[in-house]
Structure formats: structure tokens, C-alpha cells
Amino acid sequence: MAIEQEKRKYPRLSTTSGAYGVRFRTKGVDILDGRMSDLSAGGCGLEVQIQEAAHLEVGDFVEFLVLDHPDLPYVPFTASILRMLGKVAGKTSGYVLIGVEFQDITPFVRGLIAQHVVAELDRE
């Protein structure tokens, strides 16, 4: 039986090079030193220290998300948490991977992110 590949609405760029940071607020807590693991025009993956992610759950609303990279729009986004990997009972160190989907993003800003992703994928 063939395995169906995951289908995405937008191309996704791996951003593990370290040049992509992220800051956000949720449930009244600011997380200032997250790293982006991937990016698309629809959302992004975040690496957050386990201690900082202790209060987060799938479905939570991200109130203020800023992508920290010079070639990306510097505007605050709202997002929702769709996935969390690595948050398990007893884990006290390391990262949690969080997948977020952008909410209330303008077509113009989504287009800027999409252009950046495509340009970076073309360089690979």
C-alpha cells in the first residue's frame, strides 16, 4: 500500500539554520527566545524550551507572534496552536515543537511570507 504524502496548502521552508527567531505571548506569558523550525505562508513551527511551554496546550490562542528575521514582515500576528510534540510527563529539559496557524493575516503579508519562502527554497 502506498503512503500518501502530506498535502500542504503552502510550501514550507526549514528554518533550523538559526537565523529565524520568534517571540510571542499567550495566556499572559511572554516567550521571548523561541526559534522557528519551519515557515510557510499559513503558519510556522516553533521550538520552545520545555519550561516555557508548560502552560501551553493544543488549541491555545497566540496573542502576539513576531517573526524575527530581517527579510520577513515585522508585524504582530495572531495564531492558534495546532500541534505540540515533545511535551510529555516527566520531561524537564529540552524543547517542545509547536505548530501554529496564522489567524487574521492580511493577503499582502501572507504574500510577502510566501515570496520569502519560495525565494529561499529556490536557493537550496
Residue 42's pLDDT is what?
96
Q: Are strands 61-68 and 77-85 parallel, antiparallel or unpaired?
A: antiparallel
Superfamily of domain 13-123: predicted glycosyltransferase like domains (2.40.10.220)
Residue 34's pLDDT is what?
86
Residue 113 dihedral angles phi and psi, to the nearest 5°:
-65, -45
Q: Where are the domains of the chain?
A: 13-123
Q: Using CA of residue 102, residue 106, residue 111, residue 112, what is the dihedral sign?
A: negative
Residue 123's pLDDT is what?
85
What element of type H or E holds 113?
Answer: helix 107-123
Distance separating alpha carbons of residues 110 and 102, to the nearest angstrom: 9
pTM of the model: 0.86
Distance separating alpha carbons of residues 11 and 51, to the nearest angstrom: 31
What proportion of the chain, given as a percentage, has pLDDT over 70?
Answer: 94
Please report which confidence band the pLDDT of residue 5 belongs to, taking 50, 70 and 90 as the band edges: very low
Cell of 106: 492580511
DSSP 71-115: TS----EEEEEEEEES--TT--SSEEEEEEEEES--HHHHHHHHH
Amino acid of residue 97: L
